[in-house]
Structure 1
C-alpha cells in the first residue's frame, strides 16, 4: 500500500477538503468546455487529397471554406428571391464571396424550385461556425413571407450541428445512465450508502475530467466528441473502481475485521488491482494517438484524463470517505439475500473440469460470431449527413440537394496536375491529356473537364498556354483561368471529374483507388498529380485508420503484456489476457457488423473498430485483473491450483457480473444518441462487455487456467507456495 493511500486513511478530512476545493475550481471550467471544443476532425490532414486541396486554394485563389444556403420555393420560381437572399448573405460577417446558379447552371433544379448560394470564407473554422446560427435565423426570418424553405449546409454547418448534437447526446445519456447506475448498485450492494458513494465519485470524476479537458484546449484542439468519450469511459471506470474497492472492504467487515484494518486490506488487494486496471486502460488508449487524427486523439485524451482522475479519486478520496464512514457504509441496507445452500460441485465447476472440450466449443462459437467481420465495409460519410439525425438542418439541406439537383456535380473529383513554372507548358498540357485519357477510359464517367474540353479553338488554347491572354475574349480567358494557373513557381492545371455514381458509393471509392494507382505512371516525368475531392478525402481518412490498425493492435498488445507481466510476475497470464480480449473484440465487431451492416443496412464507420478495440481492451482488463488477483491470492494461501481457480471465481463472479451490468447500462444509454458513430460505439462496447463478463470470464478463462495448470501463476507465486506451510484441504460440501 503506497504512501498516498496511507495518508488518505490517516488524514481523511484533509483529503476530503482538498477534493472539495478541486471540485469548486473545476465546475466553472467544466461549463466553459463546450465552447472551447472544435467540430470536425474526421479527415487526414497529411493525405493526398489535403495536399491537392491546398494546391487548388493557393493556385486558383479559391476560398478554403464554403457554406451552402439551400433555397426551395415549392410553389414558384426560387430565383425571384435570390436578390434578397444574396443581400442577406453578403451582410453575414466574414463572407468573402457569394456565388449563385449563374456560375454553374446545374445549381438550379430543372423545375426552378430549388437552388443554393455558395458562401466563401477565408477565416478559421470556429469563426465560420460562430456565424451559422445567425445566418440561419436571418435567412429564415426574411424569406418566410416568400414561402421559401431555407437550410444552411456544408462542411462547417455539418460540424456545427455535430457539435451541438454530441453535447445533447452526452447530457441525455448521462440522464439515463445515472438512474440505471443507482438501480444496479442497489442490487449489487443492497445498501443506500454503498450505492451513493460510487455515484457521487463518478459525477465528480466527470466534472474534474471536463475541467482538465478545457485546460487542454489551450494546448491543442479537441473534438466535440470529447464529452461523449468522457461520459462513456468515465462512468464505466469510476463506478467499477469504486465497486471493486467497496465490495472488498465490506467483505472484510463481514468477516469480522475492524473497519480500519479492513480498509487497509481492501486497498492493498482490490486497490492494487484497480491501479493496474487503470493503467491498462490508459495504455490501450495511448495507441489511439498513432493515426494522428484529431477525433481519435481527442477521445484518447478524454479517456486517459477521466481514467487518471478516477484512479486518483480511488486512491485518495474513496479511502478517505470509507475511513470517515466506517461501518456506516452499510447504512440503510436492504434485506440480505438468503444464502444458497451448497450441495456439491455446480454446473460451472463441472464444465471447468473438462477444459479441452469446453474451450473447443467456445472458441468455435466465438469464431462463428466473429465471421461477419470478414465482410465488414468501413467508410466514413463524406458527401452525406447520415452521421446526424434526420432533423438536423445541415442534413436536411444536403438531402434537399440530393433530391432536387444533379448531386454528383456538387462533389466532383479533381486531379491537380502541376510542373515547375520554368518547364515547357506543353509538358503540363501533355500531362493533362494523359490524365483525361486515363479517366475517360474508366467506366461510367458522366463528365470530364480540362482546358482542352472547354471549347477553345486550338489557336486560342496555344495563346492561353503561352500566357497571351490579351488576345483572348474575356469569356475564354475566364474559363481558361478556372483550369490553368501559374502560382509560386508552379504551373498548375486541374481535371474535373463527375463520375456516374454518388460520392459515398463503393464505386466512387474504387475509382479513387484506381486513379491513384494509374495516374502517376501515366503522366510524363516531372509532372506531379494529386487526386482530391470529397470522396478522396474520405478514402484518405479511411485508409489511415485501416493502415494504422495493426500498429494500434501491436502497441496495445506489447505494452499490456509488459504491464501485466510486471503486475503478476508471469508471462503466461498476459498472453492469456491478450488471447481472451482478442476473442471478445473480434466477436463483438462481428455481431456489430451483422446488426448494423446486414440488418440495418448501415455502413460501419471507419472509426468504430479501433475505438471499440482500444476502449474495450482496456476496460476488460478490470475483470481480468480483479479475478486473477483473487485467484492468485488463494493459490499462494492454499497451494491448490484447482481450488484457487474455483474459489477465486466464486469470490468474484458476482462482483464481475455487477460491474458488467454497470458497464452495459452506461454503454446502452448511448444508444439513444443521434450521432451514428456514438450509437455504433455504444452498441459495440455493450456487446463486448456481455461476451466478456458472461462467457469469457465465467467459462473460457477458468477452463483455460485449469488446462494450463499452476505454471500460469509464475515462479514467484510458486516459490511463495513452496515456502508456506500447507493448509488443510478445503472440503467440498456434499449431500
Structure 2
C-alpha cells in the first residue's frame, strides 16, 4: 500500500473532509468550464490548406472569418428583404464586409426564393461565435413577420452549435447513465450502501475533473468535446475502480475477516491492481498527444485528468469512507444474493472449455477475423463543409441544407489552387504555372466542372504580362477588378489563385480524391520556382485526415510500448504484456469492423476519421481493467500455491462475475452516449460498447484463460515469487 492509502486508513475523517472541501471549491470552477472551451479543432493548423489560406489573407486582404445569413421566402421574392437584412448586420462589432447576390448572382436561387448574405469579420473565431446568438435573434425578430426564414451558418456557426450541443449531450448522457448505474450496482451489490459509494465517488470525480479542465483551458486551447470525454471515460473508470475494491472488501468480510483487515487486504490486492489499471489508461491516452490536433489533445487531457482524479479518490477517499462505514457497507441489503465467494463459483463451467484450448482458440480466432473483416471497407473522412455532425434541428445545419438544396453547393465551397513565385523572377514563371494548373484541371474533366484563373479573363498576352508586373492602367474597369481578385503580391512574392469548382459536393469521395490528385500532379507541373497550395474546405478535411493516418503507427506503437513496459513491471513477465497487446488488438479490430458494418453499411453513415484512433486509445486503456484484475487474482493464487492450472481456474472463479459486472457498468455508460446528437460521440459510444462486450464476454472469459492454460506456468516469468503488495507470507496487521 502506498503512503496516501495508509494515511486514509489512519485519518479517514481528515481525508473525507479534504475531498469535500476540494469538491466545494471545484463546483464554481466547473460551472465556468463551458465558456472557456473552444469549438472546432477538426483541422490541421500546420497543413497545406491552412498555409495557403494565410497566403490568401495577406495577399488579397481577405477577412479571416465569415458567416452566411441564409434568407428563404417560400412564397415570394426574397430579394425584397436583402437590404433590410444587410442593414441589421452592419452594426455588429467586427463586421468588415457584407456581400449579397448583387456582387455574386450565383447566390440567388433560380426561383428567387433563397439567397444569402456573406458577412466578413476581422476577429478571432471565439469573438465571432459570441456574436452569433445576437445576430440570429435580431434577424429572426425583424424578418419572421414578413414570412422569411433566417438561418445563420458558416464554419463558426457550425462550431458554435456544436459547442452548445456537446454541452447538452454530456448532460443528457449523464442523466441516463446515473440511473442505469444505480440499477446495475444494486444488482451487483444487492446493498443500497454499497451502491451509493461508487455513484457518489463518480459524481465527485466528474466535478473535480471539470474544474481541473477549466484551469487547463486557461493555459491552452481545449475543445468542447472535453466535457463528453470526461463523462464517457470518467463514469466508466470511477465506478469500475470502486467496484473492484468494494467487491474484494466484502469478499474478505464474508470470509470472516474483521473490517480493518478486510479493508487493508482489499487495498493491497484489488487496490494495487486498480493502480496499474489506471496507469495503463493514462499511458494509452497519452498517445493521443502525438498528432498535435486540438480535438485529440483535448480528449487526451480529459481522459488523463478524470482517470488521475478517479485514481486519487480510489486510493484515498474510498478507503477512508469504507473505514468509517465498516460493516455498514451492507446496509439496506436487497434480496438474497449470497456472498461474493458463493456467486463467484458460477464461473466454474467455463473451466471445462479451457481444458481444450487449441480448438477453442482456433474457433474464436476465426470469429474475430470475420468480425474484423468489414474494416477493409472503411473509408475514414472528417465532415467538411457539412453539418451532418449536428442534429437536424441545429440552425447552422438547416442553413447549410437550405443552400445545398436551392443553390449549387459546388459554387459555395470551391477549391483554390494558390501559386506563389518570387517577384525578382518576374511574372512569367507564375503565369506559366497558372497555365500548367489549368491544363491539369482540364485533364480531370470528370472531377472538375470549371476553373477560373487570370489566363481566363480574355486579356491579350502582352496586357496580361503587363498587368501581372503591376501596370493595370491598360485594363478595362471590369477586367481590372477581376484581375485584382485573382492576382496579388505579398512578402516579395507574386500570388495568384485558380478557383476550381469540383464536379461533386465538398464531402464526396471524388472531391477528396481530386484534392490528392492535384497535390500529386501540380508540384511537378508548375516548375521549380513556383510554390503551390491546394486550399478550401475539402482540402482542410484532407489535411486533417492525412495527419491522422500518418500518426496512427506512432499512436499505436507508443500506446503499446508504454503499456508493455508498465505491465511488465506489474506482472514481472514479458509474456503477459505481450498477450495483453495481442488481445487488445483483436478487440479493437473486431469492434471497428462491427462499427463499420453497422454505421457505414447498414445506416449509411461515414465513419469519422477521429473514431478509430479514439476507440483504440480509450478501449486499449479501459480493457486493461479486466486484464489486470483477473491476472492479479490468478497470480495471487499462483504465488500462494504454485499450481498454474488451479491458479487460472481459481482466478476465473473469483473474478468472472466481477468482470461481467464491470463490463455491464461500462456498457451502460457507453450506451447512454448513443442519446447524443453529435455523430462523433454516437460512434464513439457505440464502438466502445461493442468493444467492451467482446472484451469481457469472449476475450477475458474464454480466450485469455484458454491461452494461459496453453502457455503453462512459464507465463508468470519464473518460479513462484511473492508479489510485494500481495499478503501471502504474512497477514497484514490491522490499522489502529
| Correspondence 1:496 to 2:462 | no
Q: Please name the residue that 1:468 is paired with.
A: 471
Q: Is the 8 A contact 1:125 1:156 kept in 2?
A: yes
Residue pairs, 1:282-681, within 5 angstroms: 282-337=282-337, 346-444=348-446, 445-681=448-684
Q: Is the 8 A contact 1:597 1:604 kept in 2?
A: yes
CA distance in 1, matches of 2:15, 2:359: 52
CA distance in 1, matches of 2:256, 2:205: 32
CA distance in 2, matches of 1:577, 1:481: 62
TM-score, normalised with respect to structure 2: 0.97
| Correspondence 1:239 to 2:239 | yes
CA distance in 2, matches of 1:168, 1:564: 38
CA distances 1:453-478 after superposition (whole Å, capped 9, x unpaired):
12334443233112111232222111
Q: Please name the residue that 2:733 is paired with.
A: none
Change (3 A) 1:708 1:54: same
Structure 1: any 5+ residue segments left out of the alignment? 727-735
Give the superposition deviation at 1:66: 0.4
Q: Please name the residue that 1:35 is paired with.
A: 35
Query: Equivalent of 1:698, from 674, 682, 701?
Result: 701
Q: Is the 8 A contact 1:52 1:530 kept in 2?
A: yes
TM-score, normalised with respect to structure 1: 0.97
Give the superposition deviation at 1:69: 0.3
Give the superposition deviation at 1:716: 6.0
CA distances 1:492-533 after superposition (whole Å, capped 9, x unpaired):
010010011111111001111111110000112211101111
Q: Is the 8 A contact 2:344 2:657 kept in 1?
A: no
SS in structure 2 of the partner of residue 322 of structure 1: helix
Change (3 A) 1:240 1:421: same
Q: Please name the residue that 1:216 is paired with.
A: 216
CA distance in 1, matches of 2:181, 2:723: 40
SS in structure 2 of the partner of residue 414 of structure 1: strand
CA distances 1:645-687 after superposition (whole Å, capped 9, x unpaired):
0110000011110000000000000000000000000000000
Q: Please name the residue that 2:189 is paired with.
A: 189
CA distances 1:190-235 after superposition (whole Å, capped 9, x unpaired):
1000000000000000000000000001110100000000000000
Change (3 A) 1:414 1:22: same
Change (3 A) 1:96 1:80: same
CA distance in 2, matches of 1:408, 1:576: 50
CA distance in 1, matches of 2:499, 2:399: 24
CA distances 1:141-192 after superposition (whole Å, capped 9, x unpaired):
1111221110000000000000000000000000000000000000000100
CA distance in 1, matches of 2:679, 2:703: 32
Identify which range, 359-368 or 333-342, moves more after superposition: 333-342
SS in structure 2 of the partner of residue 493 of structure 1: strand
Q: Is the 8 A contact 1:612 1:684 kept in 2?
A: yes
Give the superposition deviation at 1:483: 0.4
Q: How many residues align?
A: 724
Superposition RMSD on alpha carbons, in Å? Answer: 1.7
Give the superposition deviation at 1:718: 5.3
CA distance in 1, matches of 2:14, 2:346: 50
SS in structure 2 of the partner of residue 35 of structure 1: helix
Q: Please name the residue that 2:138 is paired with.
A: 138
Structure 2: any 5+ residue segments left out of the alignment? 730-736
SS in structure 2 of the partner of residue 316 of structure 1: helix
CA distance in 2, matches of 1:466, 1:328: 87
Q: Please name the residue that 1:253 is paired with.
A: 253
Give the superposition deviation at 1:357: 0.6
Residue pairs, 1:113-192, within 5 angstroms: 113-192=113-192
SS in structure 1 of the partner of residue 291 of structure 2: coil
Change (3 A) 1:342 1:175: closer
Q: Is the 8 A contact 1:632 1:717 kept in 2?
A: no
Give the superposition deviation at 1:342: 11
CA distance in 2, matches of 1:61, 1:345: 70
Q: Please name the residue that 1:731 is paired with.
A: none
Give the superposition deviation at 1:404: 0.3
